[in-house]
Amino acid sequence: MIDKPTRFLALCHFWVAFGAFALACVLGLYQVLERSGLVPAIQSPGVYFASVSTHGVLMAFVLTTFFIMGFGYVVAVSSLKTPLWNPKLAWAGFGIAAFGVALAALPLLTGNASVLYTFYPPLQASVLFYLGATLLVVGSWLWCVVMIVMHSQWKAAHPDETVPLPMFATTANAILWLWTSAGVALEVLFQLIPWTLGWVETVDVGLARTLFSWTLHPIVYFWLIPAYIALYTFVPKAAGGELFSHDLGRAAFLMLVVFGLPIGFHHLYMDPEQGSGFKLMHGVGTFLVALPTLLTGFTVIASMEIAGRRRGGSGLFGWIGALPWREPLVLAAILAFLMLIAGGFGGIVNASYAMNAMVHNTAWVSGHFHLIFAGTTVILYMAVGYYIWPRLTGKPLCSASLPVIQLWSWFLGMVLMTTPWHILGLLGQPRRISSVAYNSLLTLAWDPYELAMIVGGLVLTGSALLFAYILWQSQARPAAEQAFEVEYAGYQPADGPVHPLLNGFKVWNVAILGLMVLNFGYPILQFFLAKTFGSIPWGY
Amino acid sequence: MAFHIHPLERKWLYAASAAIAIFLASILLTALFGGIHPPGHMEIIDSARLHLDGEFMEDKLGVRTEPDGSVRVTLVAARYGFFPREIQVPAGTPITFRIASADVLHGMHAPMTNLSTMVVPGYVSTVTTAFPKPGEYPMLCNEFCGMGHDHMWSKMTVVSKESWTLAHPSAGR
Ligand SMILES: [Cu+2]
């Protein structure tokens, strides 16, 4: 079993993550109710946009970062079978990140940072918001250091061996995050903070949006990689089988890191400050990065088929029924795939260079990323939570059926909420409005969908609170401590260790550098070559 | 040391790559040979001085017919509207919109059409499209721009080509 101090470290991370998540869900419920206009008493753009900003920050930055850090420590210690390197540094990372969250929470909750989690200059928030976000990122960088050092120390001690897949993927994620977060760090440190403190008068919005787009796409792979680790290494075992294959799995993680970074301009297709050529280049990369996800789908489904057949399932589809559907990891994987297929289809529409104009900034986009993030990714975070809780607390879960109910209700809520969003998006409803105030016949067609959205929000919030309850109840009840091990799905390689290219990152870092210079070099440089005009700060 | 690839996995790798190649080919063909691009061309403007001179001065805004029969619409996006607040344009005609922001970030979208662009302070947005169907369309702001964002919209009326030609007999043909 993992040593006690590391278990406590991980539990602290998970509680910050899941606490932020539960709070963000309650805010989400308020938002669907408010924007439907059905309860006039709660109509308020001021409260709504403060809530949307807080919801976005809690979900996209706090839930993810703390979950990923806690999970990373567990993976490192359990897969490498070595003690945690430099626990003090790990705690410092936790402390700095948590302090950053508290600092950013003050202006967010008081309506002094209603600039959404995407910042949106020249709207200007309280400086505490930018400082808090920076500290959160700086804390996570310390986690990256711990992961990378543990990876290379293990490799030095085991020169002819293959780094275990979960740790290889975790290190890939740490490297991805260092590259990814650099864009937003440059924007905040060199543009937003000096401008908010009044050291410079104006901010170049075109440059700020370009830097943010650098971060905005690969950040979703930072969130997704832990979910993929669970798919590759926990799910096959939970289903009663083994990993179908191993090498392409490692290649898939590498492809996410290398192709995922230089493609952010698909968020800027509709923007005037970048030219068509670079947008098209990033668009091509966006399609290439679908490949690792298609490979992951194949490998994980094939692994589950092995398990299903081993459990007596036969025929073309009979193995699906034979899977242990009441096993949270297996159920979550199946539901995650269903949401990934629907969300992936929406993503292809968004990524399509020309078709994007139809859906850009409409409710379709909210539907898409809620399916991919809150659906696919978070449902696997939940399943990891259920798997890991006994291994951190030493106590079994308080119930076997409640997690199953909770995962199904999360899926149902997502379907109920995101289906109307996709339809509303096609009908042209903007994603970020607090009420429908357009005096137009076209927009009357939106009304019936608002109701389904509220039911979805209610189911989701109930499900999120149930999730927090199960974890709390399991940890708090009195029970004798037992030893639960973290175990990973087995794979027997055909002949010897993997190719060195699939066992390290040096070459790949050079490849990323080249691609980043190619895809972002001139697009950033152009703001310094031409005489651009910055914007003064604006309130909201 | 080798890459271990299962034969089934290899087939899937080819199939998945082929699917991606088809998607990319259709995008590249329409872009490079059909000339279909999203708006964007890095044209700089001083958003603080729009009202002082140039095409975005108040009296130059609105709809104009070019000698070749195409139509140009010049708009200023500012909290909380696209100015002028009401415009009329012909159906079935290429229309070029030029939009600049006087303050913060906005976005413009007319539902059920492919008229869409971000409006970023400091840069001019240009987008060309044609509307097949006459009717009344709201031009909505689709990017959060402040507490009045919900109310930021202007009205566009698309009239049939015949009634447009009757009303604008001077337009070249
Ligand atoms: Cu606006």
Record the tokens describing residue A320, joined without a space. Answer: 């699906």
Task: Name residue A393's amino acid.
Answer: T
Pairing outcome for strands B106-109 and B135-141? antiparallel
Helix (H) or strand (E) holding B75: strand B71-78
Nearest CA distance, B170 vs chain A (angstrom): 32
Q: What is the pLDDT of residues B118-161, one digit of tens each?
A: 999 999 999 999 999 999 999 999 999 999 999 999 999 999 99
User: Does B126 sit within 8 Å of A248, measured CB to CB?
Assistant: no
**Quick check: bond before A218 cis, omega within 30?**
no
B contacts of A55 (beta carbons < 8 Å): none
Does any CB of chain B come closer than 8 Å to the CB of residue A270? yes
C-alpha–C-alpha distance, residues A130 and A372, integer Å: 27
- Pairs of CB atoms within 8 A across A/B: 241
Q: What's the gap in Å between B152 CA and the centre of ligand 1?
A: 6
Phi/psi for B120 (5° steps) reads -110, 125
ipTM: 0.93
Nearest to A497 among B1, B119, B140 (CB): B1
Q: Which of A195, A428, A306, A29 is nearest to B112 (CA)?
A: A428
> What is d(CA B128, CA B114) in angstroms, rounded to the nearest whole number?
10
Q: What is the DSSP letter of A159?
A: T
B7-32 vs A276-288: helix crossing angle, rounded to 10? 160
Let me know: does B164 contact B173? Beta carbons within 8 Å: no
DSSP structure class, residue A498? B
Put simply, the chain A residues between 383 and 442 with a CB less than 8 A from any chain B CB are 427-438, 440-442
DSSP calls for B112-139: TSS-EEEE-TTB-EEEEE--SS-EEEEE
- pLDDT tens for chain A, 540 residues: list them: 889 999 999 999 999 999 999 999 999 999 999 988 888 888 899 999 999 999 999 999 999 999 999 999 999 999 999 999 999 999 999 999 999 999 999 999 999 999 998 889 999 999 999 999 999 999 999 999 999 999 999 999 998 888 999 999 999 999 999 999 999 999 999 999 999 999 999 999 999 999 999 999 999 999 999 999 999 999 999 999 888 888 888 999 999 999 999 999 999 999 999 999 999 999 999 999 999 999 999 999 999 999 999 999 888 899 999 999 999 999 999 999 999 999 999 999 999 988 899 999 999 999 999 999 999 999 999 999 999 999 999 999 999 999 999 999 999 999 999 999 999 999 889 998 888 877 777 777 787 888 888 999 999 999 999 999 999 999 998 888 888 889 998 776 555 678 889 999 999 999 999 999 999 999 999 999 988 999 999 998
Task: Determine the Cα–Cα distance for residues B111 and A330; give it in Å rounded to an integer.
Answer: 41
What is the full DSSP assignment across A179-219?
HHHHHHHHIIIIIIHHHHTTSSS-B-HHHHHHHHHHHHTHH
Contacts of residue B107 in chain A, CB cutoff 8 Å? Answer: 270, 360-361, 430
Residue B137 distance to chain A (closest CA, Å)? 7
Which stretch of DSSP H or E encloses residue A98?
helix A87-109
Q: Which residues of A have a catalytic role annotated?
A: 217, 221, 368-370, 431-432
Q: Which chain B residues are within 8 Å of A299, Cβ to Cβ?
A: 9
Which tokens sit at A190?
């060199």
Whether residues B144 and A116 touch (CB distance < 8 A) is answered with yes
Is B16 within 8 Å of chain A by CB? yes
Write out the two tokens for A289: 């990065």
